[in-house]
Amino acid sequence: VAYYYRDDWKKQVIVNTPILILLMLLKDSGKIFLAFNVILILSFIYSNFIHKKQFTKDVRKIVYNALVWLIGIPMFLNYLWIKYTIKAYQTGYGANKFAVTPDKVANNEKSPEFMDHIGPQLWRASTNLESNNFKAVVIVNMIAVILLVVMYVVQKKLSRLLVFSIFISNGFYVLYMFSLYFMYVYLMPEFEAARIAGFGRYQSTIIIYVIGILMCAVIHEWNRYINNKPISKVITLFLLGSLFVYPFSGNMRVITEKPETISSIRWEVKNKFSKIASTGGIDPEVTYYSPKSKNDRGYLKYIVSYEQLSMNYSITNGLSSEEEKEKFFTSLKKSDFLNKRKLALLARKEKG
């Protein structure tokens, strides 16, 4: 949208402002993408309206209006939203698990072992060529670089758009990884951050954004190179789409095959607990015994919390030590019900 209206700065800022407001209010991570989008839009405005011009009254007007629309209005609405949540809810913004507050940054209690490993661990995850996400970025970058070289050799002219897109998209990827480092170190509990919990989901978000920038630039420049022939546009779109989907081809089975709901771990928990709830007990305490779900990274815990809508439960994954046996029998004495099931096999089936 920003590039489409690059020749009309008024339409550019007016059309993009609602998107930026949504990013600002959606969640804290949206503020990162707001910053990225503002950088892109200001780059287009600078390139088309300010570059190689004197700082006249008209130029000052453009800069002033762009800053007000792109930064001032979203920040003002975010301020109003914060004030509303303070009045509407008992807990303020700081109670949010991932809230960015001075106290969390100043009082970092992560262990030295964690601090030594989180940087290299995040670097390996973000540059892992076995990851479909990173593989897709590498493929699209290679296409952009090849097109850049071909156009330079044939036309003796360097594509500024491709150079800018390659630089800015990869720069955004690096900056986003630094923001994840900040989140894992200062905002996320250590037991989750130690295994960079949710990294695949976070990485997918920036991958879609980065690849979107690169693919738009590649398609635009390629169409210009082949003189906008309709059939060539269709072929280009198909080829680029196929190359982008290729790293994820192994997951196509998930689209066509629906998992067996009845054999899923969630169905098992839901079915068992609904029977417990039908007894009429108020917030019953339940013990879950599941040795085979020991390595499910807390999957059973989240399912139980969701279905039971209570923290009044305990989960035991094994009785190999005296400590585990003592803990299990202690929780069993307190519990009203015991659920014993072969959960690990079911968990693996549901996950894929």
Q: Is the pLDDT assigned to residue 340 strictly greater than 60?
A: no
Predicted local distance difference test score (pLDDT) of residue 122: 93
Predicted local distance difference test score (pLDDT) of residue 255: 58
Average pLDDT score over the chain: 78
Q: Is the pLDDT assigned to residue 162 strictly greater than 70?
A: yes
Report which DSSP code applies to 174: H
Predicted local distance difference test score (pLDDT) of residue 121: 92
Q: Is the pLDDT assigned to residue 95 strictly greater than 60?
A: no
Q: Is the pLDDT assigned to residue 76 strictly greater than 50?
A: yes
Q: Is the pLDDT assigned to residue 247 strictly greater than 70?
A: no
Largest CA distance in the chain: 81
Q: Is the pLDDT assigned to residue 242 strictly greater than 80?
A: no
Q: How far apart are CA 232 and CA 234, in angstroms?
A: 5
Q: Which two tokens stand for residue 227?
A: 């003189």
Q: How far apart are CA 274 and CA 314, in angstroms?
A: 17
155 close to 19: Cβ distance less than 8 angstroms:
no
Q: What percent of the chain has pLDDT over 70?
A: 77
Report which DSSP code applies to 339: E
Q: Which two tokens stand for residue 180?
A: 């994840």
Between residues 311 and 343, the one the model is more confident about? 311
Mean pLDDT of 289-295: 75
Q: Is the pLDDT assigned to residue 348 strictly greater than 50?
A: no
Q: Is the pLDDT assigned to residue 184 strictly greater than 80?
A: yes
Q: How far apart are CA 113 and CA 127, in angstroms?
A: 22
Q: 143: number of CA atoms within 13 Å, CB side? A: 24
Q: How far is CA 70 from the centre of its chain?
A: 23
Mean pLDDT of 223-243: 69
The H or E element that residue 214 is part of is helix 199-225
Predicted local distance difference test score (pLDDT) of residue 167: 94
Select from 312, 339, 314, 308 the least CA-distant residue to 326. Answer: 314
Q: Which two tokens stand for residue 22?
A: 């949504």
For β-strands 337-340 and 313-316, DSSP reports them as unpaired
Cα torsion 301, 303, 304, 309 to 10°: value is 120
Mean pLDDT of 172-178: 94
User: If DSSP states are collapsed to H, E and C, what string results for 72-120?
Assistant: HHHHHHHHHHHHHHHHHCCCCHHHCCCCCCHHHHHCCCCCHHHHHHHHH
**b/e code 306-332 from CB counts within 10 Å (16+ = b):** ebbeeeebbbbbeeeeeeeeeebeebe
Q: Is the pLDDT assigned to residue 123 strictly greater than 90?
A: yes
Q: Residue 315: helix, strand or coil by DSSP?
A: strand
7 close to 25: Cβ distance less than 8 angstroms:
no
Between residues 73 and 105, the one the model is more confident about? 73
Between residues 88 and 11, the one the model is more confident about? 11
Predicted local distance difference test score (pLDDT) of residue 163: 92
Select from 215, 235, 216, 61 the least CA-distant residue to 143. Answer: 215
Range name among 21-35, 53-67, 115-129 with the lowest pLDDT average: 53-67
φ and ψ of 316, to 5 deg: -115, 130
Q: How far apart are CA 154 and CA 135, in angstroms?
A: 29
Q: Which two tokens stand for residue 133?
A: 């996400």
120 close to 220: Cβ distance less than 8 angstroms:
no
Predicted local distance difference test score (pLDDT) of residue 175: 94
Mean pLDDT of 197-203: 87
Between residues 47 and 201, the one the model is more confident about? 201
Predicted local distance difference test score (pLDDT) of residue 325: 80
Q: Is the pLDDT assigned to residue 345 strictly greater than 50?
A: no
Q: Is the pLDDT assigned to residue 351 strictly greater than 50?
A: no
Q: Is the pLDDT assigned to residue 20 strictly greater than 80?
A: yes
Q: Is the pLDDT assigned to residue 178 strictly greater than 90?
A: yes
Predicted local distance difference test score (pLDDT) of residue 119: 92
Range name among 61-75, 206-220, 227-241 with the lowest pLDDT average: 227-241
Predicted local distance difference test score (pLDDT) of residue 347: 37
Q: Is the pLDDT assigned to residue 284 strictly greater than 70?
A: yes
Please, which residues have CB within 8 angstroms of residue 220's CB and are 6 or more apart in sequence?
A: 3, 161
Cα–Cα–Cα angle for 61, 13, 82, rounded to 5 degrees: 105
